[in-house]
Amino acid sequence: MGNLSHVDDQGRARMVDVGAKVPQRRLARATGAISISATTADLIAENHIKKGDVLTVAQIAGIQAAKRTAQLIPLCHPLVLDKVDVELRLAEKQVVASSEVACVGRTGAEMEALTAVSVALLTVYDMCKAVDKEMRIGDIFLVEKVKRDVEEC
């Protein structure tokens, strides 16, 4: 493993200087899931969760979270995002969240994609916690990270 980019020579945290990097088209995809009971899955499917439409609210929360990633994670660079797509899918005993984030910038959008999925799943948890005490969030990971020269796009 190489040097940590967010640590200076004295071991102190620092924000990486990306000013000399050429802007590129950046894309990141992430996914994750929350396990839920069959009863909770039925309530979500029938839109009977008292707080409202779980999947739509979680989708919007994920989009908002991606746009605020630099405010949540101290050493992340603020990015102007061109696209944030968050999708939630109800499976048998889980909700699966996926995100795709794109921008033109000097640094990648993977933290924004991961933050979108994380907050979307936390929102599902918040909306369903009154009816399901056994939910577990997990398997959040970066699926893909791509960068291309702007001229190639």
- Pairing label, strands 24-35, 136-149: antiparallel
- Cβ proximity of 103 and 82 under 8 Å: yes
Selecting among 126, 132, 139, 149, the annotated active-site residue is 126
Tell me whether residue 27 is exposed, middle or buried, using C-beta atoms within 10 angstroms of its C-beta: 0 to 12, 13 to 18, 19 or more.
buried
Record the tokens describing residue 139, joined without a space: 């398997």
Which residue intervals of 7-150 are DSSP H helices?
A: 38-45, 54-67, 69-72, 110-128
- Residue 139: active-site member: no
Catalytic residues: 126
